């Protein structure tokens, strides 16, 4: 309680505002005057960092006009040792020196990637992209953080987006990344919320000591229409959405794994209860008892995964969805186009890749392998049937056996994923696992996957105007063991996944679906460098798969 007593003491005093002697505007923005109708335009990492270094600007209006990458390895970036914007600037006569951010920051649908904040000063408070946002008129909206990494050694308030928040936070999110605090008030998006958070979500990993939550560590404000899939670990007052709740949480859910010692809850670790002029409450909120590992919560209703992925669960609770009017016209939530949890209506959902071809090799006899997803049934040449990873497999002799999957254009989509199991035997030298090439000119390839003598995998893919790109795996596919292999082309990167984990990737420019190319398994067009061993469960999707999707393909028993 000593710690909390100190906390209250410094919270209830007005911080001394740092005096800034200079009044000149040193920052060159991409445009704007900082007024509400003409916000400063931020187009570069340098402009964002410059804003953070000039407290004179903290009451102005800003709009992002580009996605920004704060990767500390890029020129002009760094690992920050305190919040980027509105940090503490030191302690004077026992009080923290800080200027609150009181302006408006509109992310404009853009993202800030790879924030790296490593605060190792025990006297440092309020760590995140923003540190101290403490004004009822302050607003942060329409901003996404991608893979933020925030560490705070100090006593209070660590979040990816903001350490301490009072104001309005709308339609913001943090995807991936980590927020780690040595002490209390640690949240996936905000450490300490005393304002309004509306339509926000977080998906990363959160760890702290006390008041630790997937979205918010300690809540003294209103949280409405938000969710968290973050996994959370802590000691005291630990929750999937909020660690400690002292106000109101409405229409929210959480699904992340939650682990802690005392006051641990699937949705909320501890609720203050009524008193202090208001009652704290969790209204129409849900958590997943299966994925959280928690059957208890200080608030909300615990449900199974199946129940959490049914629209009726939320519609019955009065949540305002698109395509319905009974619960309201504001259309805040939607169900994803595939199986899953509700999403915020403003979220862009990439189209789910569809399975366009699937050779299971479960036939056990005959010389045709059925395509169970499409009609590209494959002709088997000198192969044998064998026991596979899932049911049967095709056995190749490394000498003259191959599988001809035909020349359908569907087998070479512009964006794609190709996945399979393989159990190689000794071959000597580079051998083709698959090739898609011109039959009459086998140097004219669309894509190939090869395995070299020591087991590395190489994926080569044609580009539109440039030569083909190549990705080589670091991991190997050992002899006489089943390995899961997947390759992805996602529109900008060519990637290899080994056993469900991203292994290697490289940029590529552009590709188009190519007519007249033939897909052959285990050889280059059935004429050379034949693969020896088994192959099972070959799948082609017409778009990239997420790492989670690939991981579940690689773990069929899970
Ligand atoms: Ca509606
Ligand atoms: Ca099979």
Residue 14 is predicted with a pLDDT of 39
CB neighbour burial string for 450-482, b if at least 16 within 10 angstroms, e if fewer: bbbeebbbbbbbbeeeeebbebebebebeeeeb
Residue matched to tokens 């006489």: 480
Please tell me the distance between residue 142's alpha carbon and the centre of ligand 1 in angstroms.
Answer: 21
> pTM to 2 decimals?
0.69
| 129, two tokens | 């992209």
Nearest ligand atom owner, CA of 311 = 1
Residues with CB under 5 A from ligand 1 (ion): 320, 324, 331
Output the furthest CA–CA distance in the chain (Å, rounded). Answer: 86
**How far is residue 432's CA from residue 102's CA, in Å, rounded to a whole number?**
61
**How far is residue 187's CA from residue 442's CA, in Å, rounded to a whole number?**
55
Closest CA to 176 of 202, 153, 211, 150: 202
The CATH fold of domain 355-554: Jelly Rolls (2.60.120)
| 106, two tokens | 């509109």
The phi, psi pair for 171, rounded to 5°, reads: 50, 50
Please tell me the distance between residue 403's alpha carbon and the centre of ligand 2 in angstroms.
Answer: 14
Please tell me the distance between residue 272's alpha carbon and the centre of ligand 1 in angstroms.
Answer: 32
Please tell me the distance between residue 311's alpha carbon and the centre of ligand 2 in angstroms.
Answer: 35
Please tell me the distance between residue 391's alpha carbon and the centre of ligand 2 in angstroms.
Answer: 4
Which regions of 188-284 does DSSP assign to beta strands (E)? Answer: 190-193, 196-198, 201-202, 205-207, 210-213, 216-219, 222-224, 227-228, 231-233, 236-239, 242-245, 248-250, 253-254, 258-259, 262-265, 268-271, 281-283
Closest CA to 66 of 130, 158, 144: 144
Please tell me the distance between residue 358's alpha carbon and the centre of ligand 2 in angstroms.
Answer: 10
Please tell me the distance between residue 315's alpha carbon and the centre of ligand 1 in angstroms.
Answer: 9
Q: Give the pairing of strands 61-64 and 40-42.
A: parallel
Please tell me the distance between residue 318's alpha carbon and the centre of ligand 1 in angstroms.
Answer: 10
Nearest ligand atom owner, CA of 534 = 2
Q: 496: which strand partners?
A: 487, 504
Please tell me the distance between residue 413's alpha carbon and the centre of ligand 2 in angstroms.
Answer: 23
Where do you find CATH 2.160.20.110 in the chain?
2-19+33-308
- What distances in angstroms separate CA 203 from CA 144, 344, 395, one per listed residue? 11, 14, 42
User: Would you say 334 and 345 are in contact if contact means Cβ atoms under 8 Å apart?
Assistant: yes
Please tell me the distance between residue 34's alpha carbon and the centre of ligand 1 in angstroms.
Answer: 35
Please tell me the distance between residue 227's alpha carbon and the centre of ligand 2 in angstroms.
Answer: 38
Mean pLDDT by 10 residues, the chain (558 residues): 41 41 66 97 97 96 98 96 91 79 98 97 90 96 98 93 97 97 97 98 97 98 98 98 97 98 98 65 96 96 95 97 96 87 91 91 97 97 98 97 97 95 94 95 95 97 91 97 96 93 91 92 94 98 90 87
Residue 424 is predicted with a pLDDT of 98
Please tell me the distance between residue 390's alpha carbon and the centre of ligand 2 in angstroms.
Answer: 4
The matching CATH number, chosen from 3.90.1170.50, 2.40.50.140, 1.10.10.10, 2.160.20.110, for 2-19+33-308 is 2.160.20.110
Please tell me the distance between residue 65's alpha carbon and the centre of ligand 2 in angstroms.
Answer: 49
Residue 3 is predicted with a pLDDT of 42
Q: 485: which strand partners?
A: 420, 498
Q: Give the pairing of strands 431-437 and 518-521.
A: antiparallel
Nearest ligand atom owner, CA of 363 = 2
Residue matched to tokens 């449900």: 303
DSSP string, 466-518: SPPEEEEEEEE--TTS-EEEEEEE-SSEEEEEETTEEEEEEE-------TT-E
Per-residue H/E/C for 398-451: CCCCEEECCCCHHHCCCCEEEEEEEEECCCCCCEEEEEEECCCCCCCEEEEEEE
- Radius of gyration over every alpha carbon of the chain, rounded to an integer in angstroms: 27
Please tell me the distance between residue 526's alpha carbon and the centre of ligand 2 in angstroms.
Answer: 22
Residues with CB under 5 A from ligand 2 (ion): 360-362, 388, 390-392, 536-537
Please tell me the distance between residue 221's alpha carbon and the centre of ligand 1 in angstroms.
Answer: 25
Where do you find CATH 2.60.120.200 in the chain?
355-554
Closest CA to 213 of 137, 297, 275: 297
């Amino acid at each position: 309680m000593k710690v909390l007593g100190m906390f209250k003491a410094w919270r209830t005093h007005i911080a001394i505002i740092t005096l800034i002697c200079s009044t000149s505007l040193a920052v060159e923005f991409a445009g704007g005057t900082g007024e509400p109708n003409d916000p400063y335009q931020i187009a570069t990492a340098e402009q964002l960092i410059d804003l953070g270094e000039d407290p004179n600007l903290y009451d102005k209006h800003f709009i992002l006009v580009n996605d920004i990458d704060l990767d500390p390895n890029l020129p002009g970036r760094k690992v920050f040792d305190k919040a980027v914007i509105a940090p503490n600037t030191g302690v004077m006569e026992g009080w923290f020196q800080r200027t609150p951010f009181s302006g408006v920051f509109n992310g404009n649908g853009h993202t800030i990637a790879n924030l790296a904040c490593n605060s190792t000063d025990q006297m440092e408070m309020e760590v995140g992209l923003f540190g101290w946002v403490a004004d009822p008129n302050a607003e942060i909206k329409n901003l996404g953080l991608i893979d933020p990494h925030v560490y705070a050694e100090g006593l209070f308030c660590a979040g990816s987006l903001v350490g301490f928040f009072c104001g309005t936070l709308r339609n913001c999110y943090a995807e991936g990344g980590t927020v780690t605090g040595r002490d209390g008030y640690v949240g996936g998006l905000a450490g300490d919320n005393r304002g309004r958070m509306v339509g926000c979500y977080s998906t990363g990993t959160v760890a702290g000591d006390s008041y630790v939550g997937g979205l918010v560590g300690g809540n003294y404000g209103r949280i409405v229409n938000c969710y968290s899939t973050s996994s959370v670990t802590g000691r005291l007052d630990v929750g999937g959405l909020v660690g400690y709740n002292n106000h109101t949480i409405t229409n929210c859910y959480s699904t992340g794994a939650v682990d802690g010692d005392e006051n641990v809850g699937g949705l909320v670790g501890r609720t203050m209860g009524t008193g202090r002029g208001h009652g704290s409450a969790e209204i129409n909120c849900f958590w997943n008892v299966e994925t959280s590992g928690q059957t208890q919560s200080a608030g909300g209703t615990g449900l199974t995964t199946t129940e959490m992925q049914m629209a009726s669960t939320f519609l019955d609770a009065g949540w305002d969805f698109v395509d319905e009017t009974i619960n309201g016209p504001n259309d805040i939530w939607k169900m994803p186009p595939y199986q899953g949890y509700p999403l915020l209506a403003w979220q862009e959902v990439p189209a789910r890749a569809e399975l366009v071809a699937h050779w299971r090799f479960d036939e056990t006899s005959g010389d045709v392998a059925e395509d169970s997803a499409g009609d590209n049934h494959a002709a088997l040449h000198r192969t044998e049937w064998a026991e596979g990873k899932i049911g049967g497999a095709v056995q190749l002799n490394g000498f003259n056996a191959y599988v001809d999957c035909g020349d359908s254009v569907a087998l070479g989509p512009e964006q794609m994923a190709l996945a399979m199991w393989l159990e190689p035997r000794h071959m000597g030298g580079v051998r083709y696992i698959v090739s898609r090439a011109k039959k009459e000119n086998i140097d004219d390839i669309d894509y190939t996957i090869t395995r070299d003598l020591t087991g590395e995998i190489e994926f080569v893919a044609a580009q539109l105007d440039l030569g083909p790109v190549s990705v080589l795996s670091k991991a190997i596919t050992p002899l006489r063991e089943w390995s899961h292999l997947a390759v992805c082309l996602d529109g900008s990167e060519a990637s290899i996944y080994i056993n469900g984990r991203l292994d290697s990737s490289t940029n590529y420019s552009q590709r188009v679906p190519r007519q007249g190319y033939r897909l052959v398994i285990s050889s280059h067009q059935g004429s050379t460098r034949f693969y020896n061993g088994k192959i099972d469960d070959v799948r082609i999707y017409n778009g990239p798969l997420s790492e989670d999707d690939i991981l579940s393909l690689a773990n069929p028993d899970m």
